[in-house]
Structure 1
Amino acid sequence: MKDYTILAINPGSTSTKIAIYINEKEVFVNNIVHSSEELEQFETISCQYEFRKNAIIDLLNNEGYKLSDLSAIVARGGLLPPVKSGAYIINEAMVERLKNRPIAEHASNLAAIISYDIANQLDIPAYIYDSIAVDELEDVARISGMKDIERESLTHMLNMRAAAIKCANDKGKEYKDLNIITVHLGGGISLAIHSKGKVIDVITDDEGPFSPERAGRVPCRKLIDLCYSGKYTKREMKKKLRGKGGLISYLSTNSALEVEKKIANGDENAKLVYSAMAYQIAKGIGELATVVEGEVDFIIITGGIAHSKFMTSQISNRVKFIAPVIIVPGENELQSLTLGALRVLRGVEQPHIYTEREI
């Protein structure tokens, strides 16, 4: 069987995770951390493109890896219009959309842009896999309550689907036969209900729990008043919701580890805010359980903050009456991306072609 060397790229809000795999074997992995001072010099996330691309290339060169050895690059899918699950070939139409007209500003938008540039220079294929924009919502789930606004499926789809499939397999069951609630705990927090192999409803990171950097669901009337108060520009208000909301707003840090240190040192306000985040996450799980009339096989808590026993225990204690809770700490996104690309390279799966007709 032919060997394939694959570079996986997954930008987050404050870091860029990369890995090199030879077939299924991980041979290199690194998390390139970007300080607040480095990122604040860029007016928008898309402006970080060259900075993050150069950081990746410099690291690989310094570690002795030759880009010319790569067979393909696979990137985390960004905030595109609704797309299908699985792989897409990164093309000019996708890059133009993510650069100039993304659904929302998000670090994941950079992945395809960076991958496309590097892959073009090497004359190798580049893919995204299980984009954030994968949309399998049922029609009833799209109704928001305001005709002008339709609910969207924008979540941490890659990690949540991978965790759900893995847990189903570990239990000797088929993913397509189960009802599973997944919770991704990272810089943003999102939840999903998987029913019989499809993600039929979600709670996105702007309509549910607050997170380390995002305000989540806030009282609408007060938000409108704040928007028209004259105190803030439109850009500043967007930052208050995404980037400077959540833990940053209350505790001036986006680090869950720092918050837990504050709690350990007796900071009661930090404990209250952190507990409120767990409380809101648990409410979201309860909300999604109603979608399948309470018939939930298990609940999965995943993502970086799932390493926190304080957080996962507070959530679990509130929702364990619904279904067994499984903790899958960390993110398996680089591996999930790679395995998806590998299926395409081996001809097991055919990639989709992105066009603007998908809008």
Structure 2
Amino acid sequence: MRTLTKLKDPLIQEARELSKIKNRIIKNKIQLRGLEQIKWAKDAGLEIKSIFISKNEDPTNYEQFSAPIYQTSNGILKKITETNYLIPAVGVAEPLADKEEFGEFVLLLDDINDHGNIGTIIRTGRAYGINDFITTNADFDPYIPKTIDASRGTSFKVNFKRYSSPEQAVSYLKEQGYQIIATSPHGKSLQSTVDLDKKPIALVVGNETLGVSDEVIKAADHIVQIPMYTGVESLNVGVATGISIYELRLKEVLTMLAEKIISTLGREINVTSKLIRQAFNIKLKEISEFSGDQIIFLMVLKRKSLMNEEQIKEQFGYFGDRFKEFINPLYEDNLIKKEYEEIAITKEGEELLAKLWPVHEKAENLILQGFTEEEKKELKKYLEKIQHNCMQIITYKA
């Protein structure tokens, strides 16, 4: 451990420059303030380049970090952070590289200004499995100390893509096939009842005072509102975001998850299909009394609306007493109902599907553990070729 005593030391100068947003963006480095932020950065997998600590700090608290440790005066530490109060430890780190490909649910931050709100939104999004954030201002910085604290370090773990205007951000999302969902007090429908398209979702979070910009409203596919009691003007943007994500996630599940489950890669090949069912059953039993086949059957019902008993037996391979064991628990728990000779899913069945949506993601991630994104794409291409060839044989025979 070295002691640095001069403000003009190049290491101290670099750390000091990172107190300004423009320098963090240009240099692609972060200034970490305090031991907790340094720990968050380490846990997120960031490379910590250097750590500066006060002479009053116990160096053994920093032995867990592989970065070089420098002791310096309290006055120099205040200069590094440009604060009039002492932060006893300051780190310099490089953020993780942002990914070009985004997931099925992204958040568009439309001119959000409050750093605490931004951190809360990032943390909330991460809690619901959202890792991708688009912004409408080119100088957006998720590594402002207040944002890092409000996000509890989750801002280190997510992807950001900056645009200089709402039009550019929305144009990018449209090109990538996203449906744009904006919230507004004047929305024509409640977000809990909106009919989503079978497309990835981009939820727009608007400015604290002005809300979602007119440019985004005009381009939105759905404009929805959060219902509130009379006398309540508006919600904090962080709170509103949490409500919106929760409700739209449930809608997304009921709209898209059945399709996703039915097209799971493992179901394309018989042996792999059986193994995936077993794996799915194991994860499902951790939180539910129903088997994977019963849940998949509910998903098929959600997609098809109605099925008769012969169709169910043929698709799932249950006959005689085994069919009764398969179907009766679903009737007993009011998850399905008879409509003449057809069987339909109930509201309770749909709610169960919504509660169990993380099981599929968790099981699929475990099944594909060790695959790179490129390998996943290649595997999907090979299976699509098999499907195509099979369809040609079936069509020719017909």
Q: Higher helix fraction: Structure 1 or Structure 2?
A: 2
Tell me whether the two structures share a fold, i.e. TM-score over 0.5.
Answer: no
TM-score scaled by structure 2?
Answer: 0.24
* Higher RCO (CA 8 Å, separation ≥ 6 residues): 1
TM-score scaled by structure 1?
Answer: 0.26
Q: Higher strand fraction: Structure 1 or Structure 2?
A: 1
Structure whose alpha-carbon radius of gyration is higher: 2
